[in-house]
A and B are shown apart, each in its own frame.
Chain A
Amino acid sequence: MAHFTKATSIHDWLNQRLGIDKVRRVMATEYWIPKNINFLWAMGMVLAITFSILLVSGIFLLMYYQPNINTAFDSVNYTIMREVDFGWLWRHVHAVAASVVFLIIYIHMFTAIYYGSYKKGREMIWISGMLLFVAFSAEAFSGYMLPWGQMSYWAGMVITNLFSGGSLHADGLVEWIRGDYVPAQAFLTRFFMLHVLLIPITILGLIGLHFGALRIPHVNNQDGEEIDFEVEAAKYKSGDKAGSKVIAFMNDFMSKDMMVVGIYLVFFFYLVFYHYGFAMDAVNFDPADGLKTPTHIYPEWYFLWSYEILRPFSTNIGLIAFAFAQVIFMLLPWLDRSPNAVPASRRGLFKIWFWVLLVDMITLTAMGKVPPSGIFSTIGLVAALTFIGLWVILPFITMFEKKV
């Protein structure tokens, strides 16, 4: 058993019991981050802040939201938006954050792809990050059901239908997921549970894993340089902060993060107050009506690229392509056969692959929303085939990459 002495201060008392000095050292003042990074490295903190905003605003909304198919719509659009003081503010914050969080996730993800931050010991960071993407997607979808508007209902109908597996006709599975033949009370209540309990808990756990996975391989840097963290940390601690290649998480890295967070929040609150329409689809301001299919059914923008991989094909092939798109990013560390963990700009064909992938996904995103007819279906089909093709050729173009 540890030896305790009479405490000289509250700090000392806590320190003897919780080791707060050590925790602070390990977690903050001696957690080393490379110095050679740009603002894209702050996206993790931006995401943490956005997730906190979602959590806090969600808690406030939860106090008035009613998960009942007869009252859900009005509890959001009347009670929260009109009756509750600042209810509208929390709802706008929640809706905008739910949309913007995906923009940041995509930036974060493409940063990792560009700088090769999923290679050489960083595979678990990538995997846990992709699991977070899946969890956030499920969180976004389940949350979208809750206002019980037209788009909630019909998106719920369309997406749960995917589980019938086309020609497999697994209608029993679809009914099991819905708890009914169509989205109804059982459906709403279970998606409510998922949204406010099970998925948030999962996300919190995965965030822990994601942070933990960073610890041993350390954060990557702008040039993919392999840094001897112990040597550089010693240099920093000896006082040669300018000469060291590392900085402390607190306050060095944090101060830069907060600068980026500050700029981000200006953008974020501008959207909340003056430009929120993109995050609150007009169609969802009509109450759910199972007898009235909306003219256009489309998911939120962040799902459009994978939706468009589903759409241009016949049912079965479309579902296979869709399933492919859902899992393929997870396998990136193994499909990329190159020995180099450096920025794409120094990797020859991979550089082209990266930019084509980015442009292709934006194309898919755009085509996923417009009506699938005429030139748009052709562009969508080509973009979907390009997406699949890109992943098929990735091992081959990276296999022959020269070591830099």
Chain B
Amino acid sequence: MMKEFLILIIVVAFTLVTYYLVEPFAHSKMHKHVESEHFEYADLPALTKTGDVDRGKGLVMGAGACTGCHSIKVAGILPSIDATTAAASYGVNPPDLSNAGLIFDAKFLADLIKNPAHALKLEHKYNAQTGKTHPMAKFYGAGGDMNQEIADMVAYLQSIAVKKEKLTPKMAFENACGRCHAMRYEKWTQIGTKPTFKKEQDSLGFDVKMLDYQDSLKAYLGKLPPDLSMYYLSRSKHFLETFIENPQSQLVGTAMPRVGVTAEISEKVIEYMADSADTKRVERKEIGKNVMIYIIIFALFAFLWKKEVWKELH
């Protein structure tokens, strides 16, 4: 009996050593470790002014300002052209700003308005040498204190955004990621959720628009950004978090901009990715518990049977 126990310890020890070496150890050597920045955006200046919602509204809606390119559906400003046409001119469809104040970090929004390429960490692409400028124009001020004006605009965007509790993981994903990334397992395309069409022509028509949009994206970013249906499983959670907060930290020179979402929104985005890739994670835990109970009872009965049979063998 003692001998069997000793053999078991040896077998388990060698198994665990092997497991440690091929899993945690090997993976720590294969992937570079990136520390989380906790979505603090420490490189961006803090907002020094307190914004005024009404003045902000005027600035956002003003001539030649945001609404020239962006729609704000909650404020009744609808897109003047469809996503595919917009992407043909800008490379990507400019986001609707309805919930921008909640999705994006305030410091990030302020810096974005002032200097998009800087906030997005795309200065390796848009600079004097390349001669390229980011499709979103810098805001040069409306005549007053520019920092105050930017604070006003941020305040306005925050005031019109939905309440935090009302923002679903799906909305977070669509706002933060969905204009570049498809998620086919959730029927999401870069131009929106594909509806169920009655007529094949309509379905194909939608696909044509989507393909045209994707062509614009390819031209804008160099390649079509990957479908994210399975990314929750193909990348680690830590990778996703650090990549979302700063793509350059994991993949230097990538065309993906820093998205600028808050920590809470990042959580929601990742939850949505988990819903797509690891749909049955709750069910798995529940069934797992029952199976474990069942199998432990089985093992107990097997043990009792052995004891019974071997009574007369010793």
Contact = CB atoms under 8 A, between A and B. Distances in A.
Interface of A: 35, 38-40, 77-78, 81-82, 88-89, 92, 103, 107, 241-242, 247, 251-252, 255-256, 258-259, 261-263, 265-266, 269-270, 272-274, 277-278, 280, 282-287, 295-296, 301, 304, 358, 362, 365-366, 369-371, 376
Secondary structure of the A side of the interface?
helix
A89 B298 contact: no
B79 to A, nearest CB: 31
B299 A263 contact: yes
A252 B14 contact: no
Given A262-B298, A366-B21, A370-B26, A89 B313 contact: no
Given A38-B3, A77-B230, A282-B233, A274 B288 contact: yes
Nearest to B289: A273
Nearest to A78: B185
Interface stretch (B4-12, B96-104, B202-210): B4-12
B234 A259 contact: no
Interface in B222-240: 226, 229-231, 233-236
The residue in A38, A247, A261, A376 that gathers the most chain B C-beta atoms within 10 A of its C-beta is A38
Contact of B14 (A78, A278, A358, A371): A358
Interface stretch (B110-118, B190-198, B277-285): B277-285
B299 A255 contact: no
B302 interface: yes
Given A88-B284, A252-B309, A285-B230, A366 B26 contact: yes
Contacts of A255: 302, 305-306, 308-310
A346 B104 CA distance: 71
A78 B277 CA distance: 8
B303 to A, nearest CB: 5
A304 B230 CA distance: 26
Contacts of A362: 14, 17-18, 21
Nearest to B26: A369
Given A82-B185, A242-B312, A256-B306, A266 B4 contact: no
Contacts of B287: 89, 273
A265 B310 contact: no
B302 A282 contact: no
Contacts of A252: 309-310, 313
Contacts of B313: 35, 241-242, 247, 252
B292 interface: yes
B306 A285 contact: no
A39 B4 contact: yes
B230 A259 contact: no
Contacts of A103: 15
Given A82-B185, A82-B280, A285-B233, A371 B22 contact: no
B77 interface: no
B291 interface: yes
A273 B306 contact: no
B279 A81 contact: yes
* Pairs of residues from A and B, 5 with the lowest C-beta to C-beta distance, nearest first: A273-B288, A262-B299, A366-B21, A285-B234, A262-B302
Nearest to B7: A38
A376 B21 CA distance: 12
B138 to A, nearest CB: 35
Contacts of B26: 366, 369-370
